[in-house]
Structure 1
Amino acid sequence: MRQAPSPQAREIARAAARWLAKIESGEEGVDHAALQRWRESDAKHEAAWQKAQRLRQRFTEVPPSLGMATLDRPALARRAVLKRALGVAAVMPAAWLLGRQLPLDAWRADLHTATGEQRRWTLADGSALQLNTDSAVDLDLRARRLVLVRGEIALKVSGTQPLAVQTPYGVITVNRGEACIRLEELTCQVSVLSGSVQVQPLHGPTLGLEQGQQVHFQTAGVGSTSGFDVMQMGWRDGVLTAQNQPLGDFLRELDRYRPGVLRWDQDLESLRVTGSFRLENTDRILALLSASLPLQVQMRTRYWVTVTRRKNIA
């Protein structure tokens, strides 16, 4: 079986995608010197950028986001993905709708969601599985195992037998109860809403968790246990909730639910947000922020949005 790209390789590919998207968009003030520094800082960066250039030259009709989605894939897989992308792009020019940098592993997964989508399934044993935005899972129910390929899930195990969730960093075993599991770039977050869970990193001892506990873990071990606010899991009901949260953190979370590019001025980071927002309409969330905070939303297109500080008019 082909080994999946490392989180580092995925992040490098995404960084190259962001640079290419900026240049192709015609955005003013693109920092070409910063791009050059990024390319020269690591041979892997330069290799990813060269792949980007070759893909752009060969598939000029494929939007940059779709081309870059395949940068960390073997040649045959890239051709297969791009062939599919060309067919879709013919009827859906706004290619961001297909999801940002969605890798081939996610397309092949048994269950998956697009950016901004949440879906629920009932498994054969009666357990409930819900996928958050831009997520993918493979099923091996005979072995009582799920493979979290990408994104975030909520799993409620109702049977007497536990279910195991395989991740790149180790295995989470959910006993009768409910847990949310979220893959991040370098870690995996596990939050226990009810029942008990065991976290087994690839290297390190197993840690047991109980209701109300949360940890981040990597291949080398499990971090410290903490509590969490159950409101953080509001995505299960299609809600994004903030309680005096820094705007920068809120926008980073909102960005997960929006296809395309969402950018904001750094001087907005420390503004505070409180409220509950329906994820079904992220444009409306941005409009509500604009109405309640000193900022304005500039939409070059539905898929290229910039949030700036509102200018005072004398």
Structure 2
Amino acid sequence: MAEAGARLDPVQRAALQWQVCFWSGEAGEAERRDFEAWLAADEAHRLAWERLQRAGGRLQALPGGVAGAVLRATSAGNGRRRTLRALLLLAGAGGSAALLRETPAWQLARADERTATGERRELVLPDGGRLMLNTATAIDLRYDATERRVRLLAGEVLISTAADAARRPFVVETPAGRVQALGTRFALRCLDAATRVQVFEGAVELRPRDGGAPRRLDAGGQLSFDASAVGAPEVLDETASAWTRGLLVAERLRLADFVAELGRYRRGVLRCDPAVAELRVSGVFPLADTDAVLRSLVRALPVRVTRATRWWLTVEPARGRA
């Protein structure tokens, strides 16, 4: 990567654009083919890509999943292009504080607490409560005389609230709206355009960002809501908190969904070929060793794992099998 103040040459810029494409979570088969062709076209392309992956640039200071969340949270079209330009400026010109403070990327990079891809960490909150951060998660904490506030910028958290002598409300703010704890243990996850809420103990009251009546969700329930609407409640998935123990639990889960979930815990791109997307996966898998999980898939299912690069893997049909 270029040093601060230097200009990116065309090859470095192309490598960075590919990285942002993969971080966005929107790269598909056509992008993979184009990337492979670009990588094979010139040795300089491969070297530039490998330098980028060695985390030598400023962008790699951000958790991989956080960077993707920035792009997914940015509106399509001009908004995403503005974000890309800001990221390129950060990597190639050392960054302008005045510009970066206006971008979601800056807010995520400056978060009070964050985890890298594959990392999980528990915090003790100022009031004695506990908060567990899942992979690629970023939060801000704001405790004052009137309110206890957690701002979930990206990722997933499990919160166990504590009683507060000052009786201050405990509120979590997400891109979709506000969730207030009513003496509880609950989890929140930022999805592409919504927030998923799961309540293990007590209850929460949630309110979409753009208005609407508050909705109560009691223990044993889960739902998703976006900025304008609240989805129907469902029965809580009993395995929903397995990630806090470093486990991924699947019960006849579609392979495409399993691969997408596993991909949250490893850097780079992990794809599932549509030809095997409907195969089913069951078992308990260790999140600390995603390579071992992929090997177990190959042993159990008619699939293989191919590598376009060290950072791009695809689960696809085994040779001679659909």
TM-score tier by shorter-chain length is: 0.7 to 0.9
| Corresponding position: 1:14 with 2:16 | no
How many pairs were matched up? 260
In the alignment, which of 140, 143, 147 is matched to residue 142 of structure 2?
140
In the alignment, which of 290, 295, 303 is matched to residue 298 of structure 2?
290
SS class of match (1:299): strand
In the alignment, which of 232, 235, 239 is matched to residue 227 of structure 1?
235
Aligned residue number for residue 80 of structure 1:
90
**Contact kept? 2:203, 2:217, Cα under 8 Å:** yes
Aligned residue number for residue 78 of structure 2:
none
* Distance in 1 (alpha carbons) for counterparts of 2:50 and 2:233: 49
Q: For residue 300 of structure 1, report the CA deviation from its aligned partner.
A: 4.0
Aligned residue number for residue 183 of structure 2:
176
In the alignment, which of 116, 119, 123 is matched to residue 118 of structure 2?
116
Aligned residue number for residue 6 of structure 1:
none
SS class of match (1:251): helix
* Distance in 2 (alpha carbons) for counterparts of 1:154 and 1:246: 25
Amino acid at match of 1:218: D
Amino acid at match of 1:26: A
Moved more, 283-292 or 68-77: 68-77
| Corresponding position: 1:302 with 2:310 | yes
Q: For residue 73 of structure 1, report the CA deviation from its aligned partner.
A: 3.4
Q: Let me know the Cα RMSD of the aligned residues.
A: 3.4
Q: For residue 176 of structure 1, report the CA deviation from its aligned partner.
A: 1.7
Aligned residue number for residue 273 of structure 1:
281
Q: For residue 140 of structure 1, report the CA deviation from its aligned partner.
A: 0.2
In the alignment, which of 209, 220, 227 is matched to residue 217 of structure 2?
209
Q: For residue 11 of structure 1, report the CA deviation from its aligned partner.
A: 9.5
1:195–1:84: structure 2 CA closer, same or farther, 3 Å change rule? farther
SS class of match (1:283): helix
Counting only pairs closer than 5 Å after superposition, residues 47-66 of structure 1 correspond to structure 2 as 63=52, 66=59
Percent identity (aligned): 32
SS class of match (1:221): coil
1:215–1:268: structure 2 CA closer, same or farther, 3 Å change rule? same
| Corresponding position: 1:163 with 2:170 | yes
* Distance in 2 (alpha carbons) for counterparts of 1:199 and 1:123: 21
1:242–1:82: structure 2 CA closer, same or farther, 3 Å change rule? farther
**Contact kept? 2:36, 2:308, Cα under 8 Å:** no
Q: TM-score, normalised by structure 2?
A: 0.71
**Contact kept? 2:111, 2:140, Cα under 8 Å:** yes
For residues 287-312 of structure 1, give each alpha carbon's deviation from its aligned partner in whole angstroms, at most 9, with x where no partner exists. Answer: 01111111111234431112111124
* Distance in 2 (alpha carbons) for counterparts of 1:267 and 1:12: 21
Q: For residue 175 of structure 1, report the CA deviation from its aligned partner.
A: 2.4
* Distance in 1 (alpha carbons) for counterparts of 2:51 and 2:107: 20
SS class of match (2:163): coil
SS class of match (1:120): strand
**Contact kept? 1:13, 1:72, Cα under 8 Å:** no
For residues 18-71 of structure 1, give each alpha carbon's deviation from its aligned partner in whole angstroms, at most 9, with x where no partner exists. Answer: 777763443799xxxxxxxxxxxxxxxxxxxxxxxxxx9xx9997499599585
Aligned residue number for residue 259 of structure 1:
267
Aligned residue number for residue 98 of structure 1:
none
SS class of match (1:158): coil
Q: For residue 261 of structure 1, report the CA deviation from its aligned partner.
A: 1.1
Aligned residue number for residue 250 of structure 2:
242
* Distance in 2 (alpha carbons) for counterparts of 1:234 and 1:21: 32
* Distance in 2 (alpha carbons) for counterparts of 1:286 and 1:76: 35
| Corresponding position: 1:126 with 2:128 | yes
* Distance in 1 (alpha carbons) for counterparts of 2:249 and 2:31: 33
Structure 1: unaligned runs, 5 residues or longer = 1-9, 30-55, 86-101
* Distance in 1 (alpha carbons) for counterparts of 2:106 and 2:31: 20
